[in-house]
A and B are shown apart, each in its own frame.
Chain A
């Protein structure tokens, strides 16, 4: 038997052992103590052929249920033009890893430069980095940046309405770095910023908020930056970047840091990842920005060229004093976002955001007329809204009945938060991709169940 991934034959091994004066493999490992050696053979079943494995995986895949998704919670089913896959799957992009010999890869550097420029444009910020792993990762980098920008500050204020997973990642960050997170409570589905003055003290490095928030609701940050800046604290706003075609941008709210996840801009659902995070800051924070930046420059002959620049915080420059160890980036995912935005243009982005808004509001308006479910908070939302049911049994029945009709009705918030108070909340997301027929199908099914 020849194993395709193990090139040595028994004969090869014998020759190699002889060359170092040994007679068996056991002798080679004789220096290891008995208690760490396996006494029995490893209980792994016999191997299968490639064809058998293919059939097995296919049969598992058959068990997936297809349906019309009204699912969101951070991952949305938007229309992606075919240019995104066609161009991003070019071998010259796909096989290019993070550019170590950076300036050799002018095409990749230019794509990253375009990504940064688009992020700045969307967020109204001065400078963006080459991307981060995902939105949650961007939030921890914002927290690190805040702490490094204010001396002796180790507390980061966090809105309790940010995505539950982002909050979990921030908690991991805080535990690992010995920082403290201080939660700002919510009121009527949005962060209660009237609490800010009482929570803010000299130890606070800044505040992280999110809009649309974990309920899909839009939040207002009027005057928040001013309150924070008086204490030398910073404001970081996390957004679904597509929503910025319709709502006020971080720059317009006076934020110092803009963060988010670009899944809604050209990335597939892909069972929740991989995604791509973005981060942009005001120019004063340029040197605190994690990761890498691509700059536009000229070569010796005066021709336009792109270079890696400002890696001031990375470990290969700062060694053990690096304040960020983000060094790679999701270049391919960032590229997909870049191609997506280039294909849509600003007008296309506004169109997608407007349609998502209109369709979500159409569905929400008609669902709110039905008994047993309400839009509990009278707050503006964009493409996702929280339906609150009168009892958990009805909610489960609603989801099951719609699923039987081929509709994924929404996500129960408690599956993300594991909190009893969220058990009655169903988050329904509607993108521009949902057709009129699909909306009517949802409504008809809902009317049957809730009558």
Chain B
């Protein structure tokens, strides 16, 4: 059973988004981290670049597979989580504390279209 927490928004590609002021934190969900297994590498996106919703923004490699991270809302990369550079396993330990990157000038509309915790939970049950 994977963990879904309140007050986050979710994409069907299993990314979560948390808004703090004018910043949007993006990470992968507990479901995604469980599916991937032991994570060995996180490719961090380049700073200052604008990514659209649905665009491949980075890659997470596990012992099992290399999976694309699909950017859930449009925005400009303000910061990538450097902690993951040497310690990608942090995502396995707590995927909701350790974000992948932070977006600025993000799209409110895209954010509005994401699933809330309840809807994402229901979506997971259909998988």
Contacts and interface: CB of A to CB of B under 8 A. Distances in A.
A317 B41 contact: no
Contacts of B46: 151
B49 A318 contact: no
Interface stretch (B12-20, B61-69, B86-94, B106-114): B61-69
Given A151-B46, A151-B49, A287 B68 contact: no
Interface in A312-331: 312, 317-318, 321
B43 interface: yes
Nearest to A232: B46
A287 B65 CA distance: 14
B61 A312 contact: yes
Given A151-B46, A287-B43, A321 B65 contact: no
Contacts of B49: 151
In the complex, which range does the number of interface residues on chain B fall in?
10 to 19
Interface in B16-52: 41, 43, 46, 49
Contact of B41 (A151, A287, A321): A287
Interface string B50-86: 0000001001010001101000000000000000000
Nearest to B68: A321
Nearest to A287: B43
A324 to B, nearest CB: 12
A312 B49 CA distance: 24
Contacts of B66: 312, 317-318, 321
B60 to A, nearest CB: 11
Contacts of B56: 321
Nearest to A319: B65
Interface in A299-339: 312, 317-318, 321
Contacts of B41: 287, 312
A206 B41 CA distance: 26
B84 to A, nearest CB: 14
B61 to A, nearest CB: 6
Contacts of A318: 65-66
Given A151-B46, A151-B49, A287-B43, A317 B68 contact: no
A69 B68 CA distance: 53
B27 to A, nearest CB: 20
A151 B58 CA distance: 12
A151 B47 CA distance: 12
Contacts of A312: 41, 59, 61, 66
Interface in A8-49: none
A318 B61 CA distance: 10
Interface string A111-152: 000000000000000000000000000000000000000010
A46 B66 CA distance: 55
Interface string A142-167: 00000000010000000000000000
B126 to A, nearest CB: 23
A151 B50 CA distance: 11
B43 A317 contact: no
B101 to A, nearest CB: 14
A168 B49 CA distance: 34
Nearest to A318: B66
Contacts of A151: 46, 49
Nearest to B51: A151
Nearest to A150: B46
Contacts of B43: 287
A191 B99 CA distance: 46
Contacts of B59: 287, 312
Contacts of A317: 65-66
A312 B68 CA distance: 12
Contacts of A287: 41, 43, 59
Nearest to A152: B49
A273 B97 CA distance: 55
B32 to A, nearest CB: 16
A424 B61 CA distance: 54
A364 B56 CA distance: 55
A316 to B, nearest CB: 10
A166 to B, nearest CB: 30
A312 B58 CA distance: 13
A400 to B, nearest CB: 58
A321 B43 CA distance: 15
Nearest to B41: A287
Quick one: which of B56, B65, B66 has the most chain A CB within 10 A? B66
A287 B41 CA distance: 9
B74 to A, nearest CB: 15
A321 B59 CA distance: 11
A312 B46 CA distance: 19
A284 to B, nearest CB: 11
Interface of A: 151, 287, 312, 317-318, 321
Given A287-B43, A312-B41, A312-B61, 13 more contacts: A151-B46, A151-B49, A287-B41, A287-B59, A312-B59, A312-B66, A317-B65, A317-B66, A318-B65, A318-B66, A321-B56, A321-B66, A321-B68
Closest 3 CB pairs of A and B: A318-B66, A317-B66, A312-B66
5 contacts: A151-B49, A287-B41, A287-B59, A312-B59, A312-B66
